[in-house]
Amino acid sequence: MSLFSKLYDQVMQWSRHKYAVYWLALVSFTESSCFLIPPDVMLAPMTLAKPEKAWFYAGLTTASSVLGGLLGYVIGMTAFQFIEPWLVSLGYIDAYYLAEQWFAQWGFWAIFLAGFTPIPYKIFTIASGVAGMALVPFIIGSSIGRGIRFFLVAGLMRWGGVRLEAVLRTWIDRIGWAMVILLITGYLIFA
């Protein structure tokens, strides 16, 4: 069944669209404060499609993400009581409490590490605003953490280039179905 290869082809087509850069910036900005889809989902195929623009895409993603993180910081600082039910409904409240603990223990290092942890970055941006983290360390930690993540993704895609794109196209259905099986198995084991 070629469900994932059709999806892969569609994503690669979108990544070459003339407005893809704007969408990448928008997704990167909104993911840092409210949106659910990480920018890596766009950054990776866009870099595969145009490896020569890898560093530009990584820089744009980093800058947009940090700016979006500032929005999350402001939300946490001024409107946490309004978004707390949203965090609960999405199942992020435990991640939020973990982020709070990290801020209490490590401060700057918490936001730095948040740039590439599996816990959604938006949780950390909001928690840093609630905790009243100093703005300059927040910006520096976010810039370094997010930059490392996005430049690493772009660098790997650039390094793989056309060769990686062809390999992924060949294996995408097997990889996709293996991920579905792993997710279902994980859910059955841990649910």
Per-residue pLDDT tens for 9-26? 777 777 778 898 998 999
Distance CA 75, CA 72 (A): 5
The pTM for the full model equals 0.77
Distance CA 148, CA 86 (A): 29
Please check the confidence at residue 3 and state whether its pLDDT lies above 80: no
pLDDT of residue 6: 76
Helix axes 20-31, 3-15, angle to 10 degrees: 110
Residue range 56-106, pLDDT digits in tens? 999 999 999 999 999 999 998 998 888 888 888 888 888 888 877 887 788
Please check the confidence at residue 1 and state whether its pLDDT lies above 70: no
- 37 — alpha (psi -120 to 50), left (phi > 0) or beta? beta
3-class secondary structure per residue, 79-134: HHHHHHHHHHHCCCHHHHHHHHHHHHHHCHHHHHHHCCCCCCHHHHHHHHHHHCCC
Residue range 114-160, pLDDT digits in tens? 777 766 788 888 888 888 888 999 999 999 999 999 999 899 889 98
Residue range 161-189, pLDDT digits in tens? 777 777 776 777 777 787 778 778 876 77
